[in-house]
Structure 1
Amino acid sequence: MKRSSESNLLVRDGLPDWLVPVRAAAETVLPEQLSRFLPPAEGGRHSAVLLLFGEGADGPDLLLIERSSSLRSHAGQVSFPGGALDAVDGDPQGAGPVAAALREAAEETGLDPAGVQVFATLPALYIPVSDFVVTPVLGWWRRETPVAPVDPGETGAVFRVPLAQLTDPARRGRYRHPSGFAGPAFEVADRVVWGFTAGVIDRVLHHSGLELPWDGSRIVALGSDSAPHSAGGRSPSSADLS
């Protein structure tokens, strides 16, 4: 798959200094440095998620959503905005993932995509259990707009997490899920971030040099709502990258 650094939707200039290492890491990191699950040569359900970085009241931050507690699958789980590519998004090998990430983020949070400067993508990652091929799209929120759940039946909350919390060793650990998954976890905003979302955050922090030493033996407990409710409808936030 072509890295979307070749897409005309990307804008490189105008980033704050603290995001420059993130961009550099995204442009050089190899797929196998992010996950042991690599996309198949053909097929897969193409999707994209948006890692939207901003400057909030508490400094640099990342936009996350919480799935509605009424959903049958992964109720209450924290994830990035995003979803499957539609025909309107274009070629999954070209600009399609960028278009899908921005469209889905707007549909879920109400943000204005015109205020988002997409500056890089990560290599596409694979979630075998759901056959999702997920492209993480990295954006800078250069012109912020109000955000909130657009459809409460799908999105329970929209919130911003300071990078200072995500890099805080006291808030980091590993989870062990009854289904067999294990991987990085973050305790932020009175929530536990785990699975695919935590795995991507963990790798971005590590390869961009923002990571601080943390105790990998510390176990973070998952709430009862974190257990998968449906094996067939898993979203890109349901699996781990480890």
Structure 2
Amino acid sequence: MSMLPQGARAELLAAVADHSWGVRIPPLADPHNAHDAAVLILFGVLDRVPAPTADAAVARDLDVLLQRRAPTLSSHPGQVSFPGGRVEPDDADLVATALREAEEETGLDPDGVEILATLPVIPLAASNHLVTPVLAWWQSPSRVVAVDHAETVEVFRVPVAQLLDPASRFTSTLTRMGHTFRGPAFDVDGTIVWGFTAMVLDALFDATGWTVPWDASVERTVEV
């Protein structure tokens, strides 16, 4: 019997404790020259939901912090992503990288964040990065906003219930050099979440048991 308290936070902890969790992405073509990076996957309780304790929350009561990257960036321009970026020499570890980047990009106060787990590294071939997702719980939410518009143009606290809604879900298709790539995607009031971010969310939702059955045969082409 699990000694963890019941609730969404506990379900996240239990899901990532299962070493089978992961995202299936092709390996890097040039791993020796890859850059290390980290992203912050930050879940919190919706402001409008009264919850006596964090662990009393359920999946439908949560939101997750996302942002839209500036269209002028050389890597993944205009895409919705988790806060994060490359490791810098002064970072103590990958958790420090994720928190520093989140603070720089969204104004997040790191003191209100509880780190739940550092997840297995995921290769990101499009930009030749080795990305470590850092799963976190927002104990004391702070105001967030796009800080540097050269990097981030919008910051969202997206309700998890909206992401789980089957009507929001579809399979994205992207064709490059004669090859078509497919993956899970979300349409949040016209904001499209796809690629790496959508694959990580999809895997987490499956691992926690939060996923609501959706029609993966519905395909939409994404523009880059």
- Normalised by the length of structure 2, the TM-score is 0.84
The answer as to 2:100 corresponding to 1:103 is: yes
* RMSD (Å), alpha carbons: 2.3
Aligned counterpart for 1:63 among listed residues 56, 62, 65: 65
Cα offset for 1:69?
A: 3.2
SS in structure 1 opposite 2:219?
A: coil
Cα offset for 1:38?
A: 5.2
Check conservation: 1:185, 1:198, Cα contact below 8 A: yes
User: Residues 151, 21 of structure 1: CA spacing in aligned structure 2 closer, same or farther, 3 A cutoff?
Assistant: same
Cα offset for 1:118?
A: 0.5
Where does residue 36 of structure 2 map in the other structure?
46
User: Residues 130, 192 of structure 1: CA spacing in aligned structure 2 closer, same or farther, 3 A cutoff?
Assistant: same
Structure 1 Cα separation of the partners of residues 31 and 149 of structure 2: 37
Aligned counterpart for 2:26 among listed residues 21, 30, 37: 37
Report the count of equivalent residues: 206
Check conservation: 1:27, 1:122, Cα contact below 8 A: no
- Aligned partner letter, 1:20: A
Check conservation: 1:15, 1:140, Cα contact below 8 A: no
Where does residue 188 of structure 1 map in the other structure?
188
Check conservation: 1:69, 1:76, Cα contact below 8 A: yes
Alignment of structure 1 residues 72-151 onto 2, 5 Å:
72-90=74-92, 96-151=93-148
Cα offset for 1:21?
A: 1.3
In structure 1, runs of 5+ residues without a counterpart are 1-12, 91-95, 228-242
User: Residues 178, 207 of structure 1: CA spacing in aligned structure 2 closer, same or farther, 3 A cutoff?
Assistant: same
User: Residues 131, 214 of structure 1: CA spacing in aligned structure 2 closer, same or farther, 3 A cutoff?
Assistant: same
Structure 2 Cα separation of the partners of residues 34 and 70 of structure 1: 28
Higher percent of residues as strand? 2
Identical residues among aligned pairs (%): 43
SS in structure 2 opposite 1:106?
A: helix
